[in-house]
Amino acid sequence: MKEIWDQWDDEIKQLFYCNYGDFSYLLDIKVDKNLFRALAQNWNPTYSCFTFGKVDLVPTVEEYMALLRCPKIQIDKAYSRAAIVPMFLKKLINITGMSEQ
């Protein structure tokens, strides 16, 4: 992805930025491999959160920004949209086996 980005001119980069926001800034982030390993080992794909022992942790967008050392973010882009509550509740009901009542 970095090689493709480097081949684009400023006009194409601006178009990408308008459509996808700050996503391109992730190309320049230096990843802390130890932190990444620790987070990956504690990721719970069933609930889309981190689980440390019996504690579930879902970082906020601001906390992800701090972890990634990425100070720029645009609200209402694909990576920061809020979940659709009715759909989320249906998924949660299915996971837990509960009824809507």
Which residue type, as a one-letter code, is found at position 98? Answer: M
DSSP letter at 30 equals: P
Give the pLDDT mean for 30-55.
Answer: 82
What pLDDT is stored for residue 58 in this prediction? Answer: 80
Nearest to 61 by CA among 22, 27, 28, 24: 22
Q: Tens of pLDDT along 14-37?
A: 888 888 777 777 787 777 888 878
Helix residue ranges, H only, 32-84: 33-41, 61-68
pLDDT at 5 exceeding the cut of 90? no
Q: What is the spatial distance between Cα 22 and Cα 33, in angstroms, rounded to a whole number?
A: 22
Residue, of 90 and 27, whose pLDDT is higher: 27
Query: Would you state the torsion angle of the CA atoms of residues 63, 67, 71, 74, taken in this order, to the nearest 10 degrees?
Result: -60
Amino acid at 49: C
